[in-house]
Amino acid sequence: MAMPPSLRFLLLMLLLAGSGGATAAAFDLEEATIDSIHRAFAAGELTSRGLVGLYLRRIASLDPELHAIIELDPDGALAAADRADATALSSSGALPLLHGVPVLLKDNIAAAGALNATAGSLAIVGSRAARDAGVVERLRRAGAVLLGTASLSEWCNFRGPGIPAGWSPRGGQGRVRLYRFLFLGFANRFLGFFSAPRTVVTMQRRLIFGWLMQNPYVPWATTCSSSSGSAITAAANMAAVTLGTETDGSIMCPSSYNSVVGIKPTVGLTSRSGVIIISPRMDTVGPIARTVSDAVHVLEAIVGHDPRDAEATSMASKYIPECGYRQFSNLDGLRGKRLGILRKVFSEHFDIMRYFANAIIICFICK
């Protein structure tokens, strides 16, 4: 029996979707956490090399729309992933905190090797770093795999007044991924709270789940400055975790506009050596991730004294808890808490206000 071409194509896509190898089938990349990644490693369902491949494919499919990546280093990442996989095979003890976990750096953080740190500017393309930034040294020590650099507002938004958030000459205009929850798109569509947003959906999804699943981005919404690429890539599952930097709002604002978790560490808790900063009194490097737990893992990995940023880090490192930060992570931490809703901060942007209201309604329904 002759199948209509569209049905044949759909079947082909379904087959392709199911044949991504053992790695892709057993492990769900969407919303993966460090814990879920480590569980998949331990169960033999996933390797760090396989995971790097999954993120590179995801980046290839989404970044043409989102403009959230400036550079990738696939060869360096795969080599580091292979080393992580070999370590896992040969060691019987506990593996380091970020073992085999792919990370994207904001483009103002230097890493020795192929990546250029340019703060999004064309002015210093090709000026490769002689050594790792202090935080990158710690990331590598914790077993992380560097995928590449995420876009930002050029010079961390210190280029001049009136420059759009998330824009740089190297990265183009970064685009926000406003919310990540399937049920919000679902509710939007079927319950009709608000008109459905213009969406960008990956090809495979649109074909297979198009009637049900929206993977919505709001291309016209602001990303907020300046660690926008780090927040967009975390939200869109283009890396496991990312690093951003903040002078005044640059971790927290893009994190909140992209529905991810950012931690702005006290100045000096994380080293600024090898980072293009604006002000030594204010700048700080911190994690941006999809969950609080992931952000805490990264924070624990990158804090500490660095002789190359001696004054600030020696003062702040006194406050690092002896057993790290993960001891304070508590799944039940919000039980019984009353939440205040801060509406005013979102009111500048009508679209964000709509989805914010939507999210609150859904929270009540889910309760």
Query: Which residues are known catalytic residues?
Result: 106, 226, 250
Specify the pairing of strand 145-150 against strand 102-106.
parallel
Residue type, 235: A
Kindly determine how many residues on this chain lie close enough to bind ligand NAG according to the rule CB under 6 A: 7
Angle (nearest 5°) at CA 336 between 262 and 265 = 20
Binding track, positions 17-56, relative to ligand NAG; x by CB under 6 A = ----------------------------------------
Minimum distance, C-beta of residue 149 to ligand NAG, in the bound complex (Å): 8
Return the number of the residue (116 or 293) whose C-beta is nearest ligand NAG.
116
Residue type, 66: L
Residue 73 engages ligand NAG in binding (rule: CB under 6 A): yes
Name which of residues 293 to 352 contact ligand NAG (CB under 6 A). none
Minimum distance, C-beta of residue 77 to ligand NAG, in the bound complex (Å): 10
Minimum distance, C-beta of residue 118 to ligand NAG, in the bound complex (Å): 8
What is the DSSP code (8-state) at residue 270? B
| Binding residue for ligand NAG, selected from 123, 125, 310, 360, defined by CB under 6 A | 125
Paired tokens of 207: 């074909």
Q: Using CA atoms, how far apart are residues 17 and 294, in angstroms rounded to an integer? A: 28
Which DSSP string do the residues of 92-158 spell out, in sequence order? -SPPPTTTT-EEEEETTB--SSS----TT-STTTT---SS--HHHHHHHHTT-EEEEEE--SHHHHT
Residue 165 engages ligand NAG in binding (rule: CB under 6 A): no
Return the number of the residue (116 or 199) whose C-beta is nearest ligand NAG.
116
Minimum distance, C-beta of residue 130 to ligand NAG, in the bound complex (Å): 14
Angle (nearest 5°) at CA 38 between 52 and 35 = 110
Name which of residues 84 to 123 contact ligand NAG (CB under 6 A). 114-116
- 8 Å CB contact between 298 and 274: no
Residue 126 engages ligand NAG in binding (rule: CB under 6 A): yes
Per the listing, tokens 């953080």 go with 109
Return the number of the residue (149 or 250) whose C-beta is nearest ligand NAG.
149
Return the number of the residue (10 or 114) whose C-beta is nearest ligand NAG.
114
Minimum distance, C-beta of residue 146 to ligand NAG, in the bound complex (Å): 10
Per the listing, tokens 């509406």 go with 343
Return the number of the residue (33 or 116) whose C-beta is nearest ligand NAG.
116
Which DSSP string do the residues of 19-53 spell out, in sequence order? TSHHHHHHS--TT--HHHHHHHHHTTS--HHHHHH
Return the number of the residue (125 or 360) whose C-beta is nearest ligand NAG.
125
Binding site for ligand NAG (CB under 6 A): 71, 73, 114-116, 125-126
